[in-house]
Amino acid sequence: MTSGDTCQDLVESVTAYLEGVMTEAERRVFEAHIEACPPCEVYLEQIRVTISEAGGLAREGVPTDLCNDLVAAFREWHRGKLSA
Ligand SMILES: [Zn+2]
């Protein structure tokens, strides 16, 4: 498998992307996926909004529970979109 090019990889690496801790290569793969996959683009935007409403990632990161909930919700939603 090519790392970073599936929706699951994207979901799992979205916080790294938003924190700016990805390598250049990782970021390119991530952004290429976002451009090719509208649901993931929406997901990224939702995470961005969630983080900004929560006061940012800078000090404490995304609470694990919140992150897991979002990932689970997104997976279901994405699966629904793909099979629709
Ligand atoms: Zn995707």
Nearest to 42 by CA among 14, 1, 62: 14
User: 83 CA distance to ligand 1 centroid (A)?
Assistant: 14
In this structure, is residue 79 part of a structural domain?
A: yes
User: 22 CA distance to ligand 1 centroid (A)?
Assistant: 18
pLDDT tens digits along 42-55? 999 998 888 888 77
Residue 57 has pLDDT above 90, yes or no: no
Number of domains in the chain: 1
In this structure, is residue 62 part of a structural domain?
A: yes
Compare 58 and 24 and report the one with higher pLDDT: 24
In this structure, is residue 2 part of a structural domain?
A: no
User: 75 CA distance to ligand 1 centroid (A)?
Assistant: 10
In this structure, is residue 1 part of a structural domain?
A: no
Average the pLDDT over 48-75 and give the result.
70
How high is the pLDDT of residue 67? 67
Planar angle of CA 17, 19, 20, nearest 5 degrees: 65
Q: Residue 33: which domain range?
A: 7-83
Q: Let me know if 67 is exposed, middle or buried by CB neighbors in 10 A (0-12, 13-18, 19+).
A: middle
Residues with CB under 5 A from ligand 1 (ion): 7, 37, 40
Average the pLDDT over 13-38 and give the result.
93
